[in-house]
Amino acid sequence: MAGRILITGGAGFIGSHLADNLLRRGYRVRALDNLSPQVHGAGARRPRYLDPEVELIEGDVRDPDAVREALRGVDGVFHFAAMVGVGQSMYELAQYTAVNNLGTAVLLEALIERPVERLVVASSMSVYGEGLYKTANGRLVTCADRSLDQLRRGSWEPKNGKRERLVPVATPETKPPALASVYALSKYDQERMCLVAGAAYGIPTVALRFFNTYGPRQALSNPYTGVLAIFAARLLNDKPPLIFEDGEQKRDFVSVHDVAEGCRLAYETASAAGQVFNIGSGTPRTVNEIALKLAEQLGKNIEPEITGKYRVGDIRHCFADSARAKQVLGYRPRVDLEGGILELAGWLEGQIAKDRIAEMRRALERRGLTV
């Protein structure tokens, strides 16, 4: 079903890999991207990694004229344009809401005027808040929030009302959202707006909840991006990765190549319309483990620094149950963590990263967003 595809945010990390995937399969690709300085650096130009066959329109998803221009002659849309980062969203509320919520609304109004064959929107695992848990007797717990008093004591693991420790299990799409940050709220709004408008106007729409995506082309100087990129920026500057809490929190790290393939499958699978899918690896890994593996691959004998602090909006454990994506889309992650980190380390050779972690910590501490 090759045709012309628009990727909003298409010059970014995931968008550019999706463009590569689509081009290999005969699609023509157009990207709309504002080349944000936080992601691409000051005075950014077209990224060198962006395939020359990608038609790049530099513009903002909040600009109706730019969006209408980008939609001209397009058969389908992947909506990836968004500001990312839990911590920053808690003090740049207006900016996150403008880009993520208003930007999505502007795109949808343009699609009402000019419908496409398919819309795929990038959501996030952050909409779950805490992942799914179970008690010692096997009862599932969908609401496992941690109190501020508990976190101040350094008691990191969620417990139920009986003070029993809970065991994290894979989180399916059926878990109710628990929106712990402005970023999470905006991503949930993005997916719901797209699904509601898609159903109303006959545009088959799919929402994909990405888990912790990593790989080449991540924005190394953005302190609010994925944790592996943040760790890489520290290690490239011979500094220890900084880890909140005790580092034993579990996440689901999925290769950007698998994410790009999941996106294409969602676009091409007719029965996916109207549904939400997790796109992850399904394998939980601790943050400590990730930091040590990356340091080893980079040849850096640097132990992570455990801060013992909590960052507002963070959760303890969440990893994907991707059974629905496997059944409906035929999605199966191919890149294991060891191979993925090896590829990332190879790409990092020769990269220059500005370490802005201290700046990020000061911004959060000044506003009382770390405990």
Q: pLDDT tens for residues 185-220? A: 999 999 999 999 999 999 999 999 999 999 999 999
User: Would strands 76-79 and 118-124 be described as parallel, antiparallel, or unpaired?
Assistant: parallel
> How many C-beta atoms surround the C-beta of residue 319 within 10 A?
26
DSSP-derived 3-state class of residue 100: helix
> Structure tokens of 251?
């996440």
Instruction: Decide if 224 is catalytic.
Output: no
Q: What's the burial of 188, exposed, middle or buried (CB within 10 Å: 0-12/13-18/19+)? A: buried
Q: Looking at domain 4-366, which CATH architecture does it have?
A: 3-Layer(aba) Sandwich (3.40)
Domain layout of the chain by residue ranges = 4-366
The pLDDT value recorded for residue 305 is 95
Are the beta carbons of 31 and 57 closer than 8 angstroms?
yes
Using CA atoms, how far apart are residues 350 and 342, in angstroms rounded to an integer? 15
**Containing H/E element for 337?**
helix 337-348
The pLDDT value recorded for residue 356 is 84
* Residues of the chain under the 70 pLDDT cut: 162
Of these residues, 133, 183, 188, 214, which one is catalytic?
Answer: 183
217: left (phi over 0), alpha (psi -120 to 50) or beta: left
